[in-house]
């Protein structure tokens, strides 16, 4: 039977329920949205016992279809105060699906500050007191758990930032190397897990049966087609070769890669962090590319070695190179890699953290380009240094602390590394996504400087993103002709579940997911009036194309009509 496991941290009880039939074709983000909208009041405090954290694999995770292993975390967000889903790669989704678990729902919270580990295997779930794990950094924590519970476990964990209930805190997921390098990073979901007193969730799928696939022929054929699409795609070829930093040559010229806290303009020596530069340096140090999920056909993760040829961080992504790099006037690759590692250790979102630090630079308290100071802030975080603790609450909080009014956030969440003035469909996504500024909610660079037609492009790609986040597909493996994936998803779901879904049915899964999210947000007091970017996006011209965000607001306002 497919199960929902409910963990109530108020009385430390575990309840295994049969997953209702209505959840049959829901997974990941769609399932999370449906559970939250049905069970959590919009007006609760995100850190209160009334919030719930949903952990859900996609619909195909256990089949090992390539790039279908994303795992979704969802809750009311302490950062945005909206519904939130944030997903990651790694090895956990497969294991949950192999155990026939549709979702973990973590509810309630302990009366006192206590620390627990949740252990899940084929016999059920146990809540284990783990005071010794309190305060540990992610890498040390996970290494210890793997030593104790075996190397084939998967681990979901929070660092000190999540324990301290910070709005920029992440939930880490172990990758194929057993490192806590994949993060459900956005929206401060680590704080929700932290508020429930859970430091880590261990999943052991040893001895589980393979998942049942009803039409194996169709499954194999579709997987073959998908791999062929991926292999033939020029964009994905670049991603495979250089990882997400492959785009820096393009976005830094376009202006969409943020620099100097969104004032824009070239950062000298930007070539230091071009994809091919990183690849060359990393190869010479014995670093590698890998797939964070089993069976991935793209393998875009940069497993980065430091100058001592030892592992420094996984994975070094475009967003981090921008938000802890160019947007702070920093292009020193090793410094950024070190910051990335520190953020992964602490369980901090590199986007939100970088954007918050940029506010300190805007205020003149830290110099642009001062990489030593940024590293020191992250190093001092664990000792309770207040700058780290302010930054750990995110960009809007930091701007508030500093009394600044030029705040690159939407619904309280920092813009990712795509300046809306230079990629306007993404600006529409930032404005209107139920989750605030989130490139993973719908990114599109087509004809990106023009405001024409961008609302519809954003809606299309938001719908597609909601669909793939529900089925569990990785956006980094999306082909250039993204809608091709609708057909692939329909066929794979039909193969596994014996259904007869069409492409349109999958598109409707995306639509329904967004509807659930909007409904939750409505009950939390969010209206269309919040669907707008901060004013400076419409008034300050961005070099080199001297563009502002000029998609008509009334067109944006009608996006979900």
Cβ distance to a second copy smaller for residue 43 or 283: 43
- C-alpha 481/C-alpha 433 separation (Å) is 22
Cβ distance to a second copy smaller for residue 46 or 275: 46
> Residue 434 in contact with residue 82, Cβ under 8 Å?
yes
**Nearest distance in Å: CB 54, a second copy:** 19
**Nearest distance in Å: CB 108, a second copy:** 13
With the C-alpha atoms ordered 314, 319, 323, 326, is the resulting torsion angle positive or negative? positive
Both structure tokens of 356 = 């918050």
**Nearest distance in Å: CB 400, a second copy:** 6
- C-alpha 248/C-alpha 253 separation (Å) is 8
**Nearest distance in Å: CB 421, a second copy:** 18
Query: Residue 468: which region, alpha, beta or left (left: phi > 0; alpha: psi -120 to 50)?
Result: alpha
- C-alpha 88/C-alpha 138 separation (Å) is 16
Across-strand partners of 87?
72
Cβ distance to a second copy smaller for residue 17 or 555: 555
Q: Nearest Cα to 315, choosing from 156, 171, 182, 143?
A: 182
The answer for residues whose C-beta is within 8 angstroms of residue 35's C-beta and 6 or more apart is 52, 54, 74, 103, 105
**Nearest distance in Å: CB 401, a second copy:** 6
> Residue 127 in contact with residue 116, Cβ under 8 Å?
yes
How much is the CA Rg of the chain, to the nearest whole Å? 21
Binding site for a second copy (CB under 8 A): 42-48, 50, 164-167, 191, 194-195, 386, 389-390, 393, 397, 400-401, 403-405, 407, 523-527, 529-530, 532, 534-535
- C-alpha 197/C-alpha 318 separation (Å) is 32
Both structure tokens of 318 = 């475009």
The DSSP code sequence of 207-220 is TPPPPP-S-HHHHH
Cβ distance to a second copy smaller for residue 486 or 520: 520
**Nearest distance in Å: CB 38, a second copy:** 18
Using DSSP's 3-state secondary structure scheme, residue 164 falls into coil
Instruction: Calculate ∠ Cα 70-145-118, nearest 5°.
Output: 65
Residue the block writes with tokens 């292999």: 231
Q: Nearest Cα to 293, choosing from 95, 84, 26, 27?
A: 95
Cβ distance to a second copy smaller for residue 291 or 392: 392
Across-strand partners of 156?
173, 201
Using DSSP's 3-state secondary structure scheme, residue 542 falls into strand
Cβ distance to a second copy smaller for residue 525 or 544: 525
- C-alpha 496/C-alpha 511 separation (Å) is 22
Across-strand partners of 85?
74
Cβ distance to a second copy smaller for residue 221 or 405: 405
**Nearest distance in Å: CB 50, a second copy:** 7
Cβ distance to a second copy smaller for residue 292 or 524: 524
Pairing label, strands 198-203, 116-121 = parallel
> Residue 473 in contact with residue 487, Cβ under 8 Å?
no
Q: Nearest Cα to 288, choosing from 277, 302, 308, 306?
A: 302
- C-alpha 239/C-alpha 418 separation (Å) is 17
Both structure tokens of 406 = 């030029």
Cβ distance to a second copy smaller for residue 237 or 553: 553
> Residue 477 in contact with residue 291, Cβ under 8 Å?
no
Cβ distance to a second copy smaller for residue 167 or 176: 167
**Nearest distance in Å: CB 420, a second copy:** 16
**Nearest distance in Å: CB 160, a second copy:** 12
**Nearest distance in Å: CB 266, a second copy:** 24
**Nearest distance in Å: CB 47, a second copy:** 4
Cβ distance to a second copy smaller for residue 41 or 123: 41
> Residue 152 in contact with residue 206, Cβ under 8 Å?
yes
Cβ distance to a second copy smaller for residue 253 or 389: 389
**Nearest distance in Å: CB 252, a second copy:** 28
**Nearest distance in Å: CB 232, a second copy:** 46
Cβ distance to a second copy smaller for residue 385 or 460: 385
- C-alpha 377/C-alpha 373 separation (Å) is 6
**Nearest distance in Å: CB 103, a second copy:** 24
Cβ distance to a second copy smaller for residue 25 or 533: 533
> Residue 241 in contact with residue 249, Cβ under 8 Å?
no
């Amino acid at each position: 039977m497919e199960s929902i496991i409910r963990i109530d941290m108020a009385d430390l009880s575990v309840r295994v329920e049969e997953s209702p039939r209505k959840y049959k074709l829901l997974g990941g983000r769609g399932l999370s949205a449906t559970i939250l909208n049905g069970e959590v009041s919009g007006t609760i405090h995100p850190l209160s016992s009334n919030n719930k954290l949903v952990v859900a694999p996609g619909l195909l995770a256990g089949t090992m279809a390539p790039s279908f292993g994303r795992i979704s975390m969802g809750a009311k967000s302490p950062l945005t105060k909206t519904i939130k889903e944030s997903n990651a790669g790694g090895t956990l989704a497969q294991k949950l699906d192999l155990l026939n678990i549709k979702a973990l729902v973590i509810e309630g919270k302990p009366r006192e500050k206590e620390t627990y580990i949740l252990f899940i295997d084929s016999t059920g779930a146990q809540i284990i007191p783990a005071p010794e794990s309190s305060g540990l950094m992610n890498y040390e924590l996970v290494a210890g758990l793997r030593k104790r519970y075996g190397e084939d476990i998967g681990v979901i964990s929070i660092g000190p930032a999540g324990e301290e209930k910070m709005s920029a805190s992440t939930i880490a997921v172990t990758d194929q190397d057993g490192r806590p390098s994949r993060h459900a990073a956005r929206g401060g979901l680590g704080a929700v897990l932290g508020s429930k007193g859970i430091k880590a969730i261990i999943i052991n799928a040893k001895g589980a049966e393979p998942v049942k696939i009803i039409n194996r022929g169709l499954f194999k054929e579709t997987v073959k087609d998908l791999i062929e699409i991926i292999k033939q795609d020029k964009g994905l070829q670049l991603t495979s070769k250089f990882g997400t930093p492959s785009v820096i040559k393009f976005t830094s010229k376009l202006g969409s890669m943020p620099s100097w806290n969104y004032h824009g303009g070239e950062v000298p020596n930007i070539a230091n962090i071009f994809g091919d530069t990183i690849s060359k340096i990393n190869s010479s140090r014995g670093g590698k590319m890998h797939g964070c999920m089993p069976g991935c056909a793209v393998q875009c993760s940069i497993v980065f070695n430091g100058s001592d040829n030892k592992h420094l961080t996984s994975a070094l992504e475009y967003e981090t190179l921008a938000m802890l790099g160019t947007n702070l006037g920093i292009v020193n690759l090793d410094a950024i890699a070190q910051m990335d590692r520190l953020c992964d250790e602490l369980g901090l979102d590199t986007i939100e953290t970088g954007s918050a630090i940029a506010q300190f630079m805007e205020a003149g308290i830290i110099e642009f380009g001062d990489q030593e100071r940024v590293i020191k802030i992250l190093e001092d975080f664990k000792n309770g240094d207040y700058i780290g603790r302010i930054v750990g609450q995110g960009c809007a909080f930091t701007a508030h602390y500093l009394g600044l009014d030029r705040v690159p956030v939407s619904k309280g969440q920092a813009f990712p590394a795509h300046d809306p003035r230079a990629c306007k469909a993404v600006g529409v996504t930032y404005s209107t996504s139920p989750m605030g500024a989130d490139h993973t909610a719908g990114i599109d660079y087509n004809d990106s400087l023009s405001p024409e037609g961008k609302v519809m492009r954003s809606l299309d790609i938001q719908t597609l993103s909601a669909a793939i986040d529900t089925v569990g597909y990785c956006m980094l493996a999306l082909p250039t002709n993204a809608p091709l994936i609708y057909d692939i998803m329909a066929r794979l779901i039909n193969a596994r579940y014996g259904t007869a879904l069409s492409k349109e049915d999958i598109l409707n899964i995306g639509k329904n997911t967004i509807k659930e999210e909007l409904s939750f947000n409505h009950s939390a007091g969010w209206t269309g009036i919040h669907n707008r970017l901060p004013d400076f996006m419409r008034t300050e011209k961005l070099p080199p194309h001297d563009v502002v965000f000029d998609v008509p607001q009334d067109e944006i306002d009608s996006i979900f009509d």
